[in-house]
């Protein structure tokens, strides 16, 4: 059984990006029940037990044979080492589009569960929904018992791609929008953050290809406790903006300090925009498809720019973009992105999943920490500069920002310093005293990863 990929899905085939979910656990895990829960998820979602295959000029999903489908992998080991290893373990084209791994400490009381899904068949919302549904099924099996095998379906129920769920749009409107976007990108080229890892000479030892092979993905993390997260949300409401815009403003200011001079520079902020809640009818988070588009805006940012004013500009432009319905047109021009990469070229990429629930577990098992990190296979140290990625998600009301990076591009010390400056900026927002200048209202939430 095959299912053709739509243009949005096809874009991820070349990018080779994936959602990397991890859950640190304390207590006893019933491995048989967890294995059965993962099998149930792959049975209910055929995209998880599929591979990507050529399909004419494009690609399609093809079901794996029974002996090829992904199963829960288990082993004993160190959680930190397992996290680093799996973060750099790809989901290659032609193989399964999902993987689940349980790594347990020798005492059997500490575990790391890893769920990896190719972005061709998921986005942030659906990967988190899948993770929580898996643990819901596990809890039911542990508490109520029952069979541990997943019943095979007669035919796969493929989810409809988001490209087929968009409201109507004329070809002329789409062409006009594309022309406008290309012209905007041409008129406002954005500055990128230079890599701090020195590139070796092409003619000397360690040429570009060798250095590229030596790199690997790491993640630097920023967290705020519930009190500081609440303070950040309070400042956003009081100022009439979203938390996303405060974070984007802080990221832009931090990136600006990595560029020469103090005067205005053109910076770009790329914000993923959730489509699920904006479709009619709305698409549930359980639908395993990438249902996200992007908004790119350029701003003049200097060393003296006021962070709150930058946040207001980010918020206003993103809100206007959505109110005009441009996010639907952005999906329609997706096939043009490989030919016009500047349509998504930004100084910072700021995802925002909003506040999401963690997994519900049976008695005797506790989720100590939950993380969501985007990762991809292809990095280009030879480019010399690139956007900085920040993945923002609040599990159970505690904000976290993950900064994934490639060590042949940015050094750990560089990213830690970037992270620390972003934290300082967010703390300034989170602890700001109330003033009478801002009016209290709920801002429009716009972004999603």
What was the pLDDT predicted at 8? 87
- Which pTM value belongs to this model? 0.92
Residue 128's CATH number? 3.30.559.10
Answer whether 46's CB lies under 8 Å from 158's CB: yes
Mean pLDDT of 160-182: 96
Mean pLDDT of 148-159: 70
What was the pLDDT predicted at 210? 38
Within this chain, do residues 232 and 378 fall inside the same structural domain, yes or no?
A: yes
How much helix, strand and coil, in percent to the nearest 5, is found in the chain?
A: 35, 25, 40
Residue 307 lies in a domain: yes
Mean pLDDT (the chain, rounded): 91
Q: What is the span of the domain harbouring residue 9?
A: 2-159
For the chain, the maximum distance between any two Cα atoms, rounded to a whole number of angstroms, is 66
What was the pLDDT predicted at 441? 35
pLDDT tens digits along 336-357: 999 999 999 999 999 988 888 9
State how far the Cα of 8 lies from the Cα of 122, in Å rounded to an integer.
11
Mean pLDDT of 283-302: 96
Mean pLDDT of 217-243: 96
Q: Residue 213: pLDDT above 70?
A: no
Residue 309 lies in a domain: yes
Answer whether 24's CB lies under 8 Å from 179's CB: no
Q: Residue 52: pLDDT above 70?
A: yes
Within this chain, do residues 40 and 175 fall inside the same structural domain, yes or no?
A: no
Residue 440 lies in a domain: no
Whole-angstrom CA distances from 347 to 181, 258, 300, 391 are 17, 11, 12, 14
Within this chain, do residues 151 and 201 fall inside the same structural domain, yes or no?
A: no
Residue 444 lies in a domain: no
Within this chain, do residues 6 and 144 fall inside the same structural domain, yes or no?
A: yes
Within this chain, do residues 120 and 66 fall inside the same structural domain, yes or no?
A: yes
Mean pLDDT of 304-325: 97
Q: Residue 421: pLDDT above 70?
A: yes
Within this chain, do residues 335 and 250 fall inside the same structural domain, yes or no?
A: yes
| Residue position matching structure tokens 């996303």 | 244
pLDDT tens digits along 95-116: 999 999 999 999 999 999 999 9
What was the pLDDT predicted at 434? 53
Number of domains in the chain: 2
| Residue position matching structure tokens 């968009």 | 166
Listed range (27-31, 150-154, 213-217) with the worst mean pLDDT:
150-154
Helix or strand (DSSP H, E) at 228: helix 226-239
């Amino acid at each position: 059984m095959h299912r053709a990929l739509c243009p949005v899905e096809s874009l991820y085939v070349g990018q080779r990006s994936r959602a990397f979910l991890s859950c640190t656990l304390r207590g006893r895990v019933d491995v048989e029940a967890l294995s059965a829960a993962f099998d149930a998820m792959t049975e209910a979602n055929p995209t998880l037990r599929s591979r990507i295959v050529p399909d004419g000029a494009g690609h399609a999903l093809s079901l794996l044979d029974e002996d090829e489908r992904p199963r829960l992998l288990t082993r004993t080991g160190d959680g930190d080492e397992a996290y680093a290893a799996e973060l750099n373990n790809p989901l290659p084209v032609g193989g399964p589009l999902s993987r689940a791994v349980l790594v347990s400490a020798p005492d059997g009381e500490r575990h790391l569960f890893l769920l990896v899904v190719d972005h061709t068949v998921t986005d942030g919302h659906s990967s988190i929904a899948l993770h929580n549904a898996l643990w819901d099924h596990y809890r039911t099996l542990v508490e109520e018992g029952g069979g541990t095998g997943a019943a095979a379906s007669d035919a796969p129920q493929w989810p409809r791609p988001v490209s087929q769920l968009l409201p109507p749009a004329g070809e002329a409107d789409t062409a006009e929008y594309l022309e406008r976007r290309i012209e905007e990108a041409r008129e406002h080229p954005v500055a990128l953050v230079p890599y701090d890892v020195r590139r070796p000479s092409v003619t000397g030892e360690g040429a570009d290809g060798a250095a590229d092979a030596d790199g690997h993905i790491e993640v630097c993390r920023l967290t705020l406790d519930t009190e500081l997260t609440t303070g950040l949300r309070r400042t956003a409401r009081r100022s009439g903006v979203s938390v996303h815009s405060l974070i984007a403003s802080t990221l832009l200011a931090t990136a600006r300090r990595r560029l020469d001079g103090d005067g205005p520079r053109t910076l770009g902020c790329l914000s993923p925009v959730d489509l699920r809640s904006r479709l009619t009818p709305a698409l549930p988070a359980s639908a395993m498809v990438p249902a996200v588009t992007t908004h790119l805006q350029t701003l003049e940012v200097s060393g003296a720019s006021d962070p709150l004013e930058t946040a207001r500009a980010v918020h206003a432009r993103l809100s206007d973009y959505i109110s005009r319905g441009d996010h639907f047109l952005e999906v329609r021009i997706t096939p043009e992105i490989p030919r016009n990469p500047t349509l998504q070229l930004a100084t910072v990429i700021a995802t925002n999943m909003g506040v999401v629930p963690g997994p519900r577990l049976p008695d005797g098992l506790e989720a100590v920490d939950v993380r969501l990190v985007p990762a991809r296979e292809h990095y280009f140290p030879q480019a010399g500069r690139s956007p900085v990625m920040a993945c923002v998600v609040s599990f159970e009301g505690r904000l976290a920002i993950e900064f994934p990076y490639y060590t042949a591009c940015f050094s750990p010390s560089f990213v830690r310093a970037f992270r620390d400056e972003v934290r300082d900026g967010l703390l300034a927002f989170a602890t700001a005293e109330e003033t009478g200048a801002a009016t209290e209202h709920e801002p429009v939430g716009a972004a999603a990863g």
